[in-house]
């Protein structure tokens, strides 16, 4: 059966997946870029940036694996952009330029309606205000038998974890402290129904996989 998967979700040692004060000049919050340095050192990370070279090995393979077998994506509004509240207009089209890296239907959770946005390369952003269960059903329908990837931010992942909808959660624990920002596991207790399935440490991060029991 198709799964809802979280891949390469980078978190600091003190549990933050983004820094504070996200904005146009700090998409990941202040200091949040440190959480992703390991990824952009890899060959796959270089490819995403349009560069040659990059490191190979486990980090590279795991970063690439996050895009394999995915037919749709769900993300929170904060991951789509820095605009808050009602949309003043439709000029903001995401952080990724005219050709986003998804190339499939991508569902953006928001309380404020907006028409679908079709981009180059096959990505269509759907702006949805619905329960996690309903959004996931739409995403599975759009994925046409493939898996669905759940992106950030922290609040979005928490909602789907709390509802028991995440099948696989892959964290990359980065050896750094942020001190503040967006914390992943707030108000989730000990995550009943999930267990740590595997761990792998590289020179850059510690990968941890959680699955449903």
23-37 pLDDT tens trace? 888 888 899 999 999
Interval 37-77: pLDDT, tens: 999 999 999 998 889 999 999 999 999 999 999 999 999 99
Q: How far is residue 13 CA from its own chain's centroid? A: 18
| Neighbour count for residue 48 (Cβ, 10 Å) | 17
For 13-154, strand residue ranges (E) read 16-18, 70-76, 105-109, 117-118, 124-128, 147-150
**Strands 147-150 and 70-76, how do they pair?**
parallel
Strands 16-18 and 182-183: antiparallel
- Average pLDDT rounded to a whole number, residues 164-186: 95
The CB density around residue 126, as the number of other CB atoms within 10 Å, is 18
Taking the model in full, what pTM does it have? 0.94
Terminal Cα-to-Cα distance of the chain (whole angstroms): 16
Would you state the structure tokens that stand for residue 45, as one six-digit string? 């990370």
pLDDT at 112 over 90: yes
The full set of domains in the chain, from first to last, is: 4-18+30-82+100-212 (3.40.430.10)
d(CA 169, CA 149): 10
């Amino acid at each position: 059966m198709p799964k809802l998967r979280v891949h390469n979700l980078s978190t600091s040692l003190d549990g933050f997946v983004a820094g504070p004060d996200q904005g146009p000049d700090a998409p990941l919050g202040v200091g949040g870029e440190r959480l992703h340095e390991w990824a952009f050192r890899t060959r796959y990370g270089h490819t995403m940036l349009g560069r040659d070279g990059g490191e190979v090995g486990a980090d590279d393979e795991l970063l690439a694996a996050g895009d394999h077998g995915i037919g749709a994506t769900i993300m929170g509004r904060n991951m789509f952009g820095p605009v808050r509240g009602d949309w003043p207009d439709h000029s903001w089209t995401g952080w990724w330029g005219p050709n986003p890296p998804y190339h499939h239907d991508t569902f953006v959770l928001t309380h404020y309606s907006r028409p679908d946005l079709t981009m180059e390369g096959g990505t269509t952003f759907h702006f949805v205000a619905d329960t996690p269960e309903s959004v996931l059903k739409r995403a599975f329908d759009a994925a046409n038998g493939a898996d669905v990837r759940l992106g950030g931010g922290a609040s979005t992942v928490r909602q789907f974890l709390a509802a028991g909808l995440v099948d696989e959660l892959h964290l990359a624990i980065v050896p750094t402290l942020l001190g503040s920002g967006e914390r992943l596991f707030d108000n989730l207790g000990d995550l009943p129904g999930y267990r740590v399935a595997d761990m792998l440490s590289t020179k850059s991060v510690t990968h941890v996989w959680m699955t449903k029991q």
